[in-house]
């Protein structure tokens, strides 16, 4: 039954990739699909190594890799949707689907961090009470080393593509890959200490896992905070707003600007502003000034930037 579900997911992903989507979404899908299959192999390998090698840490690491499969699917689906053009129900496009995906990934990372941390604390308390942590097998250590190398390589590959296509969801997924590498480092240290340093050092496994959980939680918060702000319609940073004001005020014919409103819609900016022009100008001349403002902003922030300019008459003060 589980094999049938996995096959169905893979077939669904392949069909999705053959849909007509933008070049940007295709690149996001490609890097994420590579990660999906690597995560699938790692999940199976880690769970097998953990169970056969009697390593609770490796089993937990396998569950962590399983969470990566879920986030890979989220990225593929949501990035494809976010690149759709605006329509009658989404006048600003679908960019926030990608923001929502980034937030989901950050929440998944935070849950994983809490789970790893809780398991570490529980194991440490148990060990301090005199309970002996079992000695894991070498297969668990080998699995951890393979995971570190493959996930770190996958992190660099995913981050490079995410920056190239300016996709926060893909970048977030890259950090999820690195969190798995961090988790495997802690697992490898714990398993190695338990195998080579003797019975009294087996507590290294949960201690390392606890430390790694803090790193993962920090990454989750760093990724999630901007996404939450965007979904709550937070304005663009102060420096960006000041740059926008300077660009507008340098347009010929603009007497003054006010009521600037800004926000992010996925990887696209939305800018609305009121511009005052000479009250004696014709409608056509005023419209041309508004068009020039739009062109200047789109030239700086991208052709897809949403710009709304409201023209008002400017009266000279007596």
All residues at 6 or more sequence positions from 211 whose CB lies less than 8 Å from its CB, including other chains: 186
Supply the pTM of this predicted model.
0.58
What is the C-alpha separation between 12 and 304, in angstroms, rounded? Answer: 30
Q: Do domains 2-231 and 238-314 have the same CATH topology?
A: no
List, edge to edge, every strand of the sheet that includes 268-278.
256-265, 268-278, 306-314
For the chain, the first-to-last Cα distance in angstroms comes to 82
Q: Three-class SS of residue 26? A: helix
Please, are residues 57 and 137 in contact by the beta-carbon 8 Å criterion?
Answer: no
Continuous segment of H or E residues that includes residue 264: strand 256-265
Architecture of domain 238-314: 2-Layer Sandwich (3.30)
**The pLDDT of residue 19:** 45
What is the C-alpha separation between 298 and 83, in angstroms, rounded? Answer: 18
Instruction: State the helix-helix crossing angle for 238-249 and 283-301, rounded to 10 degrees.
Output: 140
What is the C-alpha separation between 298 and 271, in angstroms, rounded? Answer: 10
Domain edges within the chain: 2-231, 238-314
**The pLDDT of residue 17:** 47
Query: CA 182, 137, 203, 118 torsion: positive or negative?
Result: positive
Q: Looking at the DSSP assignment, which residues form a beta bridge with residue 308?
A: 272
**The pLDDT of residue 260:** 92
**The pLDDT of residue 235:** 75
Please, are residues 155 and 122 in contact by the beta-carbon 8 Å criterion?
Answer: no
**The pLDDT of residue 244:** 92
**The pLDDT of residue 12:** 47
Task: Point out the residues of the chain with pLDDT beneath 50.
Answer: 1-2, 4-5, 7-9, 11-13, 15-20, 91
Listed residue (48, 101, 98) closest to 70, CA to CA: 101
Fold of 2-231: Alpha-lytic protease prodomain-like (1.20.1510)
Please, are residues 246 and 239 in contact by the beta-carbon 8 Å criterion?
Answer: no
What is the C-alpha separation between 231 and 249, in angstroms, rounded? Answer: 29
Query: CA 228, 233, 235, 240 torsion: positive or negative?
Result: positive
**The pLDDT of residue 149:** 93
Percent of the chain with pLDDT over 70: 79
């Amino acid at each position: 039954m589980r094999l049938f579900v996995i096959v169905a997911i893979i077939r669904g992903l392949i069909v999705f990739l053959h849909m007509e989507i933008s070049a940007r979404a295709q690149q996001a899908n490609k890097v994420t699909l590579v990660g999906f299959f690597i995560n699938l192999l790692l999940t199976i390998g880690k769970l097998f190594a953990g169970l056969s090698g009697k390593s609770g840490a490796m089993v937990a690491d396998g569950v962590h890799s399983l969470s990566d499969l879920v986030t890979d699917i989220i990225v593929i689906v949501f990035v494809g949707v976010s690149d759709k053009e605006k329509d009658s129900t989404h006048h600003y496009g679908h960019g926030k689907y990608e923001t929502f995906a980034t937030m989901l990934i950050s929440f998944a990372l935070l849950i994983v961090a809490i789970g790893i941390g809780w398991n570490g604390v529980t194991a440490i308390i148990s060990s301090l009470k005199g309970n002996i942590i079992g000695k894991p097998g070498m297969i668990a250590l080998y699995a951890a080393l393979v995971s570190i190398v493959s996930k770190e390589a996958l992190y660099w590959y995913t981050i490079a593509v995410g920056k190239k296509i300016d996709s926060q969801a893909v970048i977030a997924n890259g950090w999820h890959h690195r969190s798995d590498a961090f988790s495997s480092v802690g697992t490898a240290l714990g398993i190695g200490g338990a195998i080579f340093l003797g019975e009294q050092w087996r507590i290294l496994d949960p201690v390392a896992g606890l430390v790694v959980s803090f790193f993962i939680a920090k990454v989750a918060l760093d990724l999630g905070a901007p996404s939450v702000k965007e979904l709550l319609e937070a304005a663009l940073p102060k420096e960006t707003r000041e740059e926008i004001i300077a660009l507008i005020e340098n347009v010929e014919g603009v007497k003054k600007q006010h009521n600037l409103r800004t926000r992010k819609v996925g990887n696209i900016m939305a800018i609305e502003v009121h511009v005052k022009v000479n009250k004696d100008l014709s409608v056509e001349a005023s419209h041309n000034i508004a068009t020039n403002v739009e062109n200047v902003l789109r030239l700086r922030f991208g052709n897809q930037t949403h710009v709304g300019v409201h023209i008002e008459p400017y009266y000279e003060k007596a």
